[in-house]
């Protein structure tokens, strides 16, 4: 059955004419997440591509594979720019590529010679292809980057850490603007400054800016409720606009100065403060002069903590790649307003045979798929589509963006420094990966596993006397902890006696593996056949099924776990090991419980023991953190939140009128109706909620 996506401005047609082939989407049951991603609306800069025609598949003989099926598609392809997807028998996307001419590019694959081992394997696994034509190659490049990020094809270069960057926000929807750390969509009105490489860099900068410009950091609701200045005013971190310690005009000047400083006019701001300090000193107003002195000191502190600050580069991102030992590290530095706003190292998934420039070009295209671009991008290695990518980013931002490989001067020195950081990060990661590999091999030998585990799941529970019980699952693999795979389980069963750890673990196991069976089938853990596909392990990512399950507990916990695994029929496919604390709960004396073997301990200095302790401690930390978050949420919960139809506005009106939720619960219907915005119907709803037992 043909599925017709409907992006903005796309024309849906069913002409059946082979010459008009646009894109082909066929329904499969192999990967629902992939199909959902393909159905999702494209970004505005991609969805606005006109001339896209989505058509039915041309006739291709069933059973063809590899170069034969590609050759069958070539006959119907237009000599136009576009994007193609290569797929295997299961419907998984193997590769997404763009082309100036779809016909010429796909013909190159069909010839079946002159390809690298990676491309040869990709062609051999291809059983179907899908295409979309675009007006220009630039539009094809934008669409390609978007699809790669969504579908994560195995043979493409992939970003693995796509966490959004934090920004500094100075709000613009309040009479007294506040300064906040912001991450995510820019939905709130205000001025955004960034990106910063880390939340820590933003926090340090905001902390210094508070001392320099005395801007408030409280929420609007706190601001409205203040009747006297808070502690931040007392320690000279806020000007106190909430209680009129500074008038609106004076506070507005502070806001403008902060914006000027973050916009690159830092020297002008410092000159103004220096002049004001000198004037106050000449007027013998030494207290006011001291305030300006402290603000100047704070600004110097901000700039001194920005690291290398170039003299000739106002706004740029600098990328450098170091590729060695089959692993690539890309280091990116952010420069805004002539200041270094931090850096981050990335380790993209890429075939070892790819040249550094190829990896860097593919990475940058994905990197800016959902991020604003600076006016200048400096790179360490040139790549084939640099001019095209420059044009695509310029079109996307509606202003000129240049991508260059500097050869001399300060810009070249910046690239060299970033490259040095890439080499160091590469070396550290390589050492950590090698150490992790040795530990996983030792773990397999210690517990007689068939192969080093690629996915380890560790479970722990946390509660206080059975209240706010939470189960936590952490995941580790060849590259360490995989935090985007962590899961928490709020214990829901009412049949469990409070404090029954065994019952809690049964519920966690039941929910976890029932869902795994539902979503991924009764496949069990598996390891790719490296003889047939040597790079499969590095490309396939984290498997869905665990190779090893560690339980924080002894015989009782393991009995509960095995009962659930047997009920689900997967006991023979899951290796579960219990880790019980030793005598006096002393670290280093843990006992291990394995099915069919007597319990045992490991030597105190065994590296595998330290590794398991680290895994267990991380699970413990995650479970306790989840428990505390749930407990905190419950502590601040309001009884009014449980009433359907009572939103924030009515809740606020009731609390302002009666003072507390307890007073609301005691009020009669006539008293409730007297509150502004509360109708008799709503009043009866509130009254009935608190008096159900009397009805």
Residues 595 and 629 in one domain: yes
Kindly state whether residue 618 falls inside one of the protein's structural domains. Answer: yes
Instruction: Give the pLDDT confidence score for residue 576 in this predicted structure.
Output: 92
- More confident site: 213 or 294: 213
pLDDT at 12 over 60: no
DSSP-derived secondary structure for 327-359: EEEEEEEEEETTEEEEEEEE--B--TTS-HHHH
Residue 309 has a pLDDT of 60
Q: Is 44 exposed, middle or buried (0-12, 13-18, 19+ CB in 10 A)?
A: exposed
pLDDT in tens, 190-199: 988 877 877 7
pLDDT, mean of residues 222-249? 88
DSSP H helices in 152-237:
199-213, 220-225, 231-234
Give the per-residue pLDDT at 473. Answer: 94
Indicate the range of 45-54, 511-520, 594-603, 668-677 predicted with least confidence: 45-54
Identify whether 466 is part of a domain.
Answer: yes
- In a domain? residue 443: no
pLDDT the model gives residue 71? 86
Q: Which domain holds residue 476?
A: 456-527+541-633
pLDDT the model gives residue 457: 95
CA-based torsion, 247, 248, 253, 259: positive or negative: positive
Report the CATH number that the domain containing residue 688 is assigned in CATH: 1.10.150.20
- Eight-state DSSP code of residue 175: S
Angle (deg, nearest 10), helices 266-282 and 248-262: 140
Give the model's pLDDT for residue 541.
Answer: 64
For residues 490 and 494, what is the distance between their CA atoms, to the nearest angstrom?
12
Calculate mean pLDDT across residues 20-46. 37
- What is the pLDDT at residue 637? 64
**Are 407 and 466 part of one and the same domain?**
no
Q: Chain-centre distance of CA 405, in angstroms? A: 29
Integer CA distances (angstroms), 127 to 104, 385, 489, in order? 19, 28, 40
Q: Per residue in 86-128, pLDDT tens?
A: 998 888 899 999 999 998 999 888 886 778 888 888 998 998 8
The CATH number covering residue 409 comes to 3.30.420.10
Domain boundary among 151, 177, 210: 151
Q: What are phi and psi of 111, to 5 degrees?
A: -70, -30
- The least confident of 86-95, 203-212, 267-276, 544-553 is 267-276
List, for residues 262-283, the tens digit of each pLDDT value: 776 666 666 777 777 777 777 7
Same domain, 615 and 660: no
Helix spans in 81-197 (H)? 102-110, 117-125, 137-151
User: How high is the pLDDT of residue 95?
Assistant: 92
Categorise residue 190: left if φ over 0, alpha if ψ from -120 to 50, beta otherwise.
left
Highest mean pLDDT among 17-26, 494-503, 548-557: 548-557
Lowest average pLDDT, out of 208-222, 247-261, 640-654, goes to 640-654
Q: Which of 284, 304, 324 is the last residue of a domain?
A: 304
- What CATH number did the domain enclosing 43 receive? 3.40.1440.10
Distance CA 266, CA 300 (A): 10
Q: Is 59's pLDDT higher than 70?
A: no
Q: Say what the pLDDT of residue 360 is.
A: 93
Q: Report if pTM > 0.85.
A: no
Same domain as 617, residue 595: yes
Q: pLDDT digits over 386-417, tens only?
A: 999 999 999 888 888 999 999 988 889 889 98
Per the DSSP assignment, residues forming a β-bridge with 128 are: 87
Measured between alpha carbons, how far is 370 from 173 in angstroms, rounded to an integer? 25
Q: How far apart are CA 430 and CA 62, in angstroms?
A: 45
Tell me if 2 is assigned to some domain: no
**3-state SS string over 267-289?**
HHHHHHHHHHHHHHHHCCCHHHH
Collapsed DSSP state (helix, strand, coil) of residue 130? strand
Number of separate domains in the chain: 5
CA distances, 173 to each of 178, 223, 237 (Å)? 10, 14, 22
pLDDT at residue number 10: 35
Mean pLDDT of 511-532: 68
**Segment 209-216 mean pLDDT:** 84
Cβ-contact 458, 618 below 8 angstroms: yes
Is the pLDDT confidence value at 54 over 80?
no
Q: What is the DSSP letter of 316?
A: E
The pLDDT assigned to 321 comes to 95
The tens digit of pLDDT for each residue in 152-182 reads 898 988 887 666 788 889 998 898 999 999 8
Host H or E run for residue 44: helix 44-47
Q: What is the pLDDT of residues 129-159, one digit of tens each?
A: 889 998 888 888 888 988 888 888 989 888 8
The torsion angles phi and psi of 172, rounded to 5 degrees, stand at: -130, 15
> Are 487 and 627 found together in one domain?
yes
Q: Please enumerate in sequence order all residues whose Cβ is within 8 A of that of 64, keeping only pairs 6 or more positions apart, or say none.
A: 72, 127
Residue whose C-alpha is closest to residue 500's, from 487, 488, 511, 491: 491
Question: What CATH number has the domain bearing residue 582?
Answer: 3.30.420.340
Residue 659's pLDDT band, with cuts at 50, 70 and 90, is: confident
Does 419 lie in the same domain as 297? no
Task: Write down the pLDDT at residue 685.
Answer: 87
* DSSP, res 497: P
User: Which of 589-621 are b and which e, b meaning 16 or more Cβ less than 10 Å from the residue's Cβ?
Assistant: ebbbbeeeeeeeebeeeeebbebbeebbebbbe
- The pLDDT value recorded for residue 117 is 83
CB atoms within 10 A of CB 453: 24
Q: What is the pLDDT of residue 268?
A: 66
Task: Name, in order, each residue with C-beta under 8 angstroms of 434's C-beta and a sequence gap of 6 or more.
Answer: none
Is there a single domain that holds both residue 629 and residue 646? no
Rg (alpha carbons) of the chain, rounded to whole number: 30
Residue 625 included in any domain = yes
Alpha helices in 636-679 (DSSP H): 648-658, 661-666, 669-673
What pLDDT does 8 receive? Answer: 33
pLDDT value at residue 5: 36
Q: Which of 135, 128, 129, 143 is nearest to 53 (CA)?
A: 135
- As separate numbers, helices (DSSP H) first and strands (DSSP E) second, the chain gives 23, 20
Share of the chain above pLDDT 90, in %: 18
Domain boundary among 96, 123, 151: 151
- The 3-state DSSP class for residue 675 equals coil
Query: Looking at residue 440, what is its pLDDT?
Result: 92
pLDDT tens readout for residues 296-338: 666 665 555 444 566 678 788 999 999 987 889 999 998 887 7
Residue at 597 is within a domain: yes
Arithmetic mean of pLDDT, 565-589 = 80
242 and 335: one domain? Answer: no
Q: What percent of the chain has pLDDT over 70?
A: 80
How far, in Å, are 92, 139, 207, 267, 309 from residue 274 at the CA level?
A: 63, 51, 21, 10, 22
Q: Report, as an integer, the average pLDDT of 462-470.
A: 79
Same domain, 123 and 54: yes
**Residue 1 belongs to some domain of the structure:** no
Lowest mean pLDDT segment, chosen from 442-451, 499-508, 537-546, 658-667: 537-546
pLDDT for position 535 = 43
pLDDT, the chain, mean: 79
pLDDT at position 44: 40
The pLDDT of residue 642 is above 80: no
Rounded CA separation 210/202 (Å): 12
Same domain as 682, residue 608: no
In a domain, 441, yes or no: no
In the prediction, which pLDDT does 338 show?
72
pLDDT of residue 403: 93
- Whether residues 219 and 90 share a domain: the answer is no
**Closest to 632 measured CA to CA, from 481, 468, 411:** 468
pLDDT band of residue 486 (cuts 50, 70, 90) is: very high
C-alpha–C-alpha distance, residues 201 and 19, integer Å? 54
Does residue 420 share a domain with residue 399? yes
């Amino acid at each position: 059955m043909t599925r017709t996506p409907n992006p903005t401005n796309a024309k849906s047609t069913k002409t059946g004419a082979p010459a008009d082939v646009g894109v082909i989407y066929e329904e499969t049951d192999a990967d629902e997440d992939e199909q959902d991603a393909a159905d999702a609306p494209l970004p505005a800069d991609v969805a606005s591509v006109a001339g896209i025609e989505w058509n039915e598949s041309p006739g291709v003989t069933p059973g063809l594979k590899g170069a034969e099926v590609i050759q069958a598609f070539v006959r119907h392809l237009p000599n136009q720019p576009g994007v193609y997807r290569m797929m295997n028998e299961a419907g998984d996307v193997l590769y997404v590529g763009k082309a100036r001419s779809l016909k010429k590019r796909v013909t190159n694959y069909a010839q079946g010679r002159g390809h690298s081992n990676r491309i040869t394997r990709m062609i051999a696994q291809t059983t179907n292809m899908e295409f979309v034509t675009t007006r220009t190659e630039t539009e094809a490049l934008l669409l390609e980057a978007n699809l790669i990020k969504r579908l994560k094809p195995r043979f493409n270069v992939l970003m693995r850490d796509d966490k959004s960057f934090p920004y500094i926000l100075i709000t613009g929807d309040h009479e007294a603007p506040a300064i906040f750390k912001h991450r995510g969509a820019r939905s709130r009105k205000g001025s955004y400054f960034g990106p910063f490489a880390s939340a820590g860099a933003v926090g340090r900068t905001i902390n210094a800016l508070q001392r320099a410009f005395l801007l408030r950091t409280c929420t609007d609701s706190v601001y409205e409720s203040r009747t006297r200045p808070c502690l931040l005013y007392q320690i000279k971190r806020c000007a106190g606009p909430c209680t009129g310690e500074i008038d609106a005009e004076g506070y507005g000047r502070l806001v403008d100065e902060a914006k000027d400083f973050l916009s690159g006019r830092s020297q002008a701001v410092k000159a103004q403060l220096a002049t004001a300090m000198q004037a106050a000193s000449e007027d013998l107003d030494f207290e006011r002069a001291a305030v300006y002195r402290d603000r100047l000191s704070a600004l110097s502190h901000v700039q001194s903590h920005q690291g290398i600050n170039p003299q000739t580069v106002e706004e740029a991102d600098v990328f450098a790649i170091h590729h060695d030992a089959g692993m690539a590290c890309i280091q990116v530095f952010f420069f805004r307003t002539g200041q270094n706003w931090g850096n981050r190292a990335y380790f993209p998934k890429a075939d070892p045979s790819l040249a550094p420039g190829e990896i860097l070009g593919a990475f940058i295209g994905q990197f800016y798929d959902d991020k604003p671009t600076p006016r200048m991008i400096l790179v360490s290695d040139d790549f084939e589509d640099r001019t095209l990518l420059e044009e695509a980013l310029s079109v996307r931002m509606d202003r000129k963006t240049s991508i260059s490989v500097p050869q001399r001067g300060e810009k070249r020195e910046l690239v060299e420094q970033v490259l040095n950081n890439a080499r160091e990060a590469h070396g550290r990661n390589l050492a950590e990966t090698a150490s992790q590999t040795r530990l996983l091999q030792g773990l397999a030998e210690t517990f007689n596993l068939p192969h080093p585990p690629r996915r380890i799941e560790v479970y722990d529970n946390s509660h206080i006397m059975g209240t706010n019980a939470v189960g936590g699952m952490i995941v580790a693999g060849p590259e360490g902890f995989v935090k985007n795979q962590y899961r928490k389980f709020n214990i829901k069963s009412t049949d469990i006696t409070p404090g029954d750890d065994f019952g809690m673990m049964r519920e966690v196991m039941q929910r976890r593996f029932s869902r795994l069976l539902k979503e991924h089938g009764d496949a069990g853990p598996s390891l790719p056949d490296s003889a047939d596909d040597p790079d499969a392990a590095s490309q396939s990512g984290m498997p869905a099924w665990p190779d090893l399950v560690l339980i924080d507990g002894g015989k009782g916990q393991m009995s509960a776990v095995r009962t659930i695994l047997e009920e689900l029929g997967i006991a023979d496919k899951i290796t579960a090991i219990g880790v019980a604390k030793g005598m006096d709960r002393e670290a280093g004396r843990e006992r291990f419980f394995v099915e069919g073997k007597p319990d045992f301990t490991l030597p105190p200095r065994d590296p595998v023991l330290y590794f398991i302790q680290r895994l267990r401690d991380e699970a413990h930390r995650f479970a306790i953190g989840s428990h505390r978050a749930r407990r905190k949420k419950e502590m601040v919960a309001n009884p009014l939140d449980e009433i359907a139809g009572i939103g924030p506005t009515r809740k606020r009106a009731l609390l302002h009128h009666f003072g507390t939720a307890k007073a609301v619960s005691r009020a009669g219907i006539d008293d409730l109706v007297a509150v502004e915005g509360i109708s008799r119907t709503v009043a009866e709803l509130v009254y009935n909620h608190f008096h159900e037992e009397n009805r």
